[in-house]
């Protein structure tokens, strides 16, 4: 980060905490995908289970990449006195997780 001036350390640390929160969420999605595939074999149809597991893994990987790009853009904005980036992935993540939960619920009910 050779551009701009060093921001107040509190803002840099807040940006880093936000990045780490997104990374924790990403890891939780990845763990959920692995867990779904590994431990839910008898509860729902295999095709649905595998599709949901892949969706969680892809979403977790995409979120990790998004977290880094958001951290970088926010740090750059702080250093150059610009406005911080918008919400980005948050609304997409919220809707995707809600839809995923509903599909998982239907899959569990169908599998019984």
- More confident site: 4 or 35: 35
* Alpha-helical runs (H) found in the chain: 9-39, 46-80, 90-111
Residue 84 belongs to what domain range?
Answer: 9-111
**Alpha-carbon span 24 to 61, nearest angstrom:** 12
Nearest-CA neighbor of 61 among 87, 39, 93?
Answer: 93
For residues 70-74, give the mean pLDDT.
92
For residues 3-31, give the mean pLDDT.
91
Structure-block tokens of residue 106? 């239907």
For residues 14-29, give the mean pLDDT.
94
**Alpha-carbon span 104 to 98, nearest angstrom:** 10
pLDDT over threshold 90, residue 64: yes
Looking up tokens 């926010």 gives 74
**Alpha-carbon span 41 to 48, nearest angstrom:** 11
pLDDT at 104: 83
Does residue 64 belong to any structural domain of this protein? yes
Does residue 70 belong to any structural domain of this protein? yes
User: Which distant-in-sequence residues (6+ apart) come within 8 Å of 21 by Cβ?
Assistant: none
pLDDT digits (tens, 9 = 90+) for 79-94: 998 888 887 788 888 8
Residue 14: CA atoms inside 13 Å, Cβ hemisphere, count?
8
Does residue 1 belong to any structural domain of this protein? no
What is the count of structural domains for the chain?
Answer: 1
Does residue 89 belong to any structural domain of this protein? yes
For residues 44-60, give the mean pLDDT.
89
Does residue 91 belong to any structural domain of this protein? yes
Does residue 74 belong to any structural domain of this protein? yes
């Amino acid at each position: 980060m050779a551009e701009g001036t060093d921001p107040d350390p509190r803002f840099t640390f807040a940006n880093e905490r936000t990045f780490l929160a997104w990374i924790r969420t990403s890891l939780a999605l990845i763990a959920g995908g692995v867990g779904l595939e590994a431990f839910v074999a008898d509860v729902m149809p295999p095709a649905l289970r595998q599709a949901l597991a892949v969706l969680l893994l892809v979403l977790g990987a995409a979120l990790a990449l998004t977290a880094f790009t958001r951290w970088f853009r926010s740090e750059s904005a702080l250093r150059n006195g610009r406005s911080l980036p918008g919400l980005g992935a948050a609304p997409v993540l919220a809707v995707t997780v809600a839809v995923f939960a509903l599909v998982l619920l239907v899959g569990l009910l169908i599998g019984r």
